[in-house]
Chains A and B, each alone.
Chain A
Amino acid sequence: MSVLPLLEVDDLHVTFNTASGPVHAVDGVSFTMAPGASLGVVGESGSGKSVTARALLRLFAITDDVRVSGSVHFDGADLLRVDERRLRHVRGGQIGMIFQDPLTSLNPLMAVGEQIAESLRLHRGMGRAEAASEAVELLARVGIADPEKRATELPSSFSGGMRQRVMISLAIACRPRLLIADEPTTALDVTVQAEILLLLDELRRSEGMALMLITHDFGVVAATCEDVQVMYAGKLVEKASMTHLFDRANHPYTEGLLRLVPRFEDAHTGRLHPIPGQPPITGGGGSSCAFAPRCAHAFDRCHREIPPEVAVGPEHLSACWLAADRAKEGTEAGRPWRRTP
């Protein structure tokens, strides 16, 4: 038997009550992460990938009318049921988070070194002087040159990439066992993105922390994650190791996502293949496959029953009525999106 999971999410549901009715943003999601694991969560906007991450820490806006059910076991406790005090300790302590726009998560009026030191005093019980010097060390760890000087500066004096580094140093300050990164490089230039992705990968390996990376870009996942799960309308539709997914993407939605972006290594090879239609705005909660209306392979059953997760390979699951057939085809012919020789 493998090691005990660090994170065990079971049948997570998140429903927002909005003016236009309930939105099932997360609709029965279950997965586990081992200590030190790296998991990419991929999907379009509105697929529920960010809400899943926020639900793990009950991070909702005070104005959200939200209902959460299921369980999120982290380090022995169900985070959906622990009290606020314990949860605050986990947030930014055992679980670190970084987001797309670091500016919204940093205090604009406080020197970055102070912000990191504050977190160290709060979560690691350090004294003022110790926290200040540890903050400088953390800035150096994430590749910020001249850290003593930069620690005294406000977030606004950092470039986008450097600001994301500050955010990462803040997130790892308390040696979290899990780092959740939600589109951490989407706003960055491509060379800066490369550096941040390498930094996340190096930190994961050196600190032994697990990394959950939420993105719409399979390339970003390929650079940083060993495992990947694809979400659609609040459900996990496919889970696999990254290398396995490249060779044998099974779910039609995954295949669609892989095919719809131009791949850098291809010269112009005709028109792209957008997935027709749009994701349902009310999320999941239906009684059929949510992807069926957009799926070229859908048949009667897809419109009547929700497909279960089917094992289509070692640690490879696909929630599709055609999963078994497609797994067979895939091993014979490979997928159309694969690199052509």
Chain B
Amino acid sequence: MSDAVVVGSTLDTGSPEPEEAAGPRGVLEVNDVMVEFDTDAGRITAVDGVSLHLATGETLGLVGESGCGKSTLARAIMQLVPMQRGSVRLEGTDLGTLPRRELRRMRHRIQMVFQDPRGSLDPRMSVSTIIGEPLRVHGIGDRTSRARAVAEAMELVGLPTAVSDRLPSELSGGQQQRVGIARAIVTDPAVLVCDEPVSALDVSIQAQIINVLDELRDELDLAMLFIAHDLSVVRHLSDRVAVMYLGQIVETGTASEVFTEPRHPYTQGLITSVPRADAESATRLQTARRLVLGELPSLLDPPSGCRYRTRCPYADDECAATEPPPEAVDHTDGLHSLRCHHWRDIAVRSGAQPSSNSQEQAP
């Protein structure tokens, strides 16, 4: 009923958030979310005006380093931390405005997988009780249908029926994470939020869990928000990616475009920093060091203007004076956008080769 107003106001602003532009209305729509915290040392803005959307069957990778706000954003989307501003719409419903009771009813449509499988499972409950718990909490189905749903979820994540009665401590790390995933999908959610789901696991187990998530996404048509600091894993799983730095999304687009044609100096630095198993590994790290200077500034005293300017080799007075708004890369229908005043002058750096950039070539 208020659709006309919403559309109208979007048009009136003249510069829609490119993160939102041109995409279909998603199953999850996050708009201009801001999260602030009080710490001993003062107030910090952990998430600063983030917008993103997710369509059914789509995976959005959220990358960035410690303190960039990616986990806080996930918690805000899950309504686990209060937002100072913005909205989170799940299947069209604004979660922030729901009364507590209604919110609980919606929760089964958005579920979360955590980093530490052991810590997130009740050590006294059996595997099947843990997996079935969200169904009981949300009052979904009867005893028979719940048992069936638990069995199906276990099969989907590759847990043998034999472990149903075991305790989490009797399982391997990989199996524990499978339990965590089964519990998340048992309520048939539309959106799965995964916060570093494989970073605590050994490499060979990581591959198994990544495959499980990959298969689930295809079979259940899940929308997945995949948060990780491992860029290789994110690239492998994601259709689109968003790169966060100091609470803001600095670049977003399709995974192939952002990873092969990164435009933001921070994205370029991040990608070039990934140590790869090839002969140019060391040379590439040298390049990375020239793209990410110094140390991460404190959130207590974030830089004026562009958040990245204190570490950026291209920064000038304009970057200190004005905050760059999200701007769409022309040829991509608004899917690829970034916050940088100078991106048109900065060479694309695929990171595939340690290529030199325009600045370095200058006399």
Interface residues of A (CB under 8 A from B): 44-45, 159-162, 189-195, 197-198, 201, 216-224, 243, 246, 256-258, 260-268, 271-275, 278, 339
Contact = CB atoms under 8 A, between A and B. Distances in A.
Contact of B207 (A45, A189, A195, A260): A260
10 contacts: A161-B295, A192-B65, A219-B277, A221-B277, A260-B204, A261-B232, A262-B236, A264-B235, A268-B255, A272-B211
B279 A246 contact: yes
Interface in B210-254: 210-211, 214-215, 229, 231-233, 235-237
B276 interface: yes
Contacts of B202: 44-45, 216
Contact of A274 (B208, B284, B296): B208
- The CB with the most chain A CB atoms within 10 A, among B207, B229, B233, is that of B207
Interface residues of B, number: 47
Interface of B: 65-66, 172, 202-208, 210-211, 214-215, 229, 231-233, 235-237, 255-256, 259, 269-279, 281-282, 284-286, 288-289, 292, 295-296, 351-352
A282 to B, nearest CB: 15
B285 A190 contact: no
Contacts of A195: 289
A194 B275 contact: yes
A191 B282 contact: no
B274 A275 contact: no
B275 A222 contact: yes
Nearest to A197: B285
A180 to B, nearest CB: 19
Contacts of A201: 282
Contact of B285 (A198, A262, A272): A198
A273 B172 contact: no
A191 B203 contact: no
Contacts of B351: 264
Given A190-B273, A257-B203, A258-B277, 16 more contacts: A44-B203, A190-B65, A190-B270, A191-B273, A198-B286, A221-B277, A222-B277, A223-B281, A256-B204, A260-B203, A261-B207, A264-B232, A267-B255, A271-B215, A278-B172, A278-B204
B275 to A, nearest CB: 3
Contacts of B274: 190, 219, 264
Nearest to B291: A191
A268 B172 contact: no
A261 B285 contact: no
Given A267-B235, A267-B255, A267-B256, A191 B275 contact: no
B309 to A, nearest CB: 16
Given A219-B281, A273-B207, A198 B289 contact: yes
A256 B211 CA distance: 16
A39 to B, nearest CB: 16
Given A219-B277, A246-B277, A191 B204 contact: no
B156 to A, nearest CB: 15
Contacts, number: 129
Contacts of A160: 66
Contacts of B292: 191, 194
B272 to A, nearest CB: 8
B231 A190 contact: yes
Given A45-B202, A189-B229, A194 B285 contact: yes
Given A264-B232, A271-B211, A272-B236, A243 B279 contact: yes
A273 B206 CA distance: 11
B207 A272 contact: yes
A197 B296 contact: no
A223 B285 contact: yes
A246 B279 CA distance: 8
Nearest to A279: B204
B197 to A, nearest CB: 14
| Max count, chain A CB within 10 A of own CB: residue among B231, B279, B285, B289 | B285
Contacts of B211: 271-272, 274
Most buried by B among A192, A264, A265, A268: A264
Q: Quick one: which of B235, B269, B286 has the most chain A CB within 10 A?
A: B235
Nearest to B288: A194
Contacts of A192: 65
A191 B288 contact: yes
A190 B229 contact: yes
A263 B232 contact: yes
Given A159-B296, A189-B229, A216-B202, A264 B276 contact: yes
Contacts of B203: 44, 216-217, 257, 260-261
Nearest to A190: B273
A159 B295 CA distance: 9
B207 A223 contact: no
Contacts of A191: 65, 269-270, 273, 288, 292
Nearest to B201: A45
Nearest to A220: B275
Contacts of B285: 194, 197-198, 223
A161 B351 CA distance: 23
A161 B211 CA distance: 32
A271 B77 CA distance: 29
B276 A263 contact: yes
B66 A265 contact: no
B210 A268 contact: no
A268 B65 CA distance: 23
A273 B207 CA distance: 7
A271 B235 contact: no
Contacts of B288: 191, 194
A264 B205 CA distance: 18
Given A44-B204, A216-B202, A268-B236, A194 B289 contact: yes
